[in-house]
A and B are shown apart, each in its own frame.
Chain A
Amino acid sequence: MITRRHFLLLTGAAVAMPVKAQLPANIAEIRKAALTEAIGKVVGNSRVRQGRVKLDIPPLIDNGNAVPVSVEVESPMTEADHVKTIHLFTERNPQPYVLSVQLGPRAGKARIATRARIGDSGDVTAIAQMSDGSFWSDSVRVIVTLSACLEEGLI
Chain B
Amino acid sequence: MRALRRSLRRLAGLIRRPRGHGELDEELASHLQLHIDDNLRRGLTPEEARRQAMVALGGMTQAAEAYEDQRTVPLLDSAIRDLHYGFRQMRRNPGFAAVVILTLGLGIGANSVMFSVVNSLLLRPLPYPNADRLVAVETMEAVRWTSSYTAPPDFYKYRDGSRSFDHVEAYFQRAANITGGREPERVQTLVVSPGLFDALGTQMTLGRGFVRQEEQWGSHRVLVLTTGLWERRFGADPSVVGTAITVNGEPYAIVGVLPRSFSFPGAEAQMFVPMAFEAGDNRNTHNNYFLRMIGRLKTGVTPQQANADLNGILKTIVAEEGVNQGTAMDVVPLRNVVVGRDVRRALIVLLAAVGFVLLITCANLANLLLSRAAARQREIAVRLALGASRRRLVAQFLTESLLFSLLGATVGLAIAYWSADGLNVVSPRLLPRVGTIHVDLSVLTFTAAVATATGLLLGLAPAFYSTGQRVGADLKASSRSSSDSPGRSRLRGILVAAEVALTLVLLAGAGLMIRSMYELLRVPAGFEADGVLTLQLNVPAQKYVDRELDRRSSPLAYIRATAFFTSVVDRIRAVPGVQAVGAINGLPLMGEVWGKSVTLYDRPLPADVRGLPSIQFRVVAGDYFKALGIRILNGRPFTDADTLRAPKVAIVNQEFARRHWSGANPLGKIISVNPPLSLVPKSIVDEAIRSGAIPPDYEPDRIAVVGVADDVRYGGLDVAAVPVVYMPHAQGSEGTTNMFFVIRTARDPLSLANAIRQQVAEIDPDQPVASIQTMRARVDSSIAQRRMQMNVLGLFAAMAALIAIIGIYGVMSYTVAQRAPEIGIRLALGAARRDVIAVVMRQGMTMVGAGMVIGLAAAAAITRVLRTLLFGVSPTDPLVFIAISLLVAVTAAVTIYLPARRASRLDPLTMLRSE
- Whether A associates with B in a native complex is no
Q: Hey, which bits of chain A sit against chain B, CB under 8 A?
A: none
Binding site for A on B (CB under 8 A): none
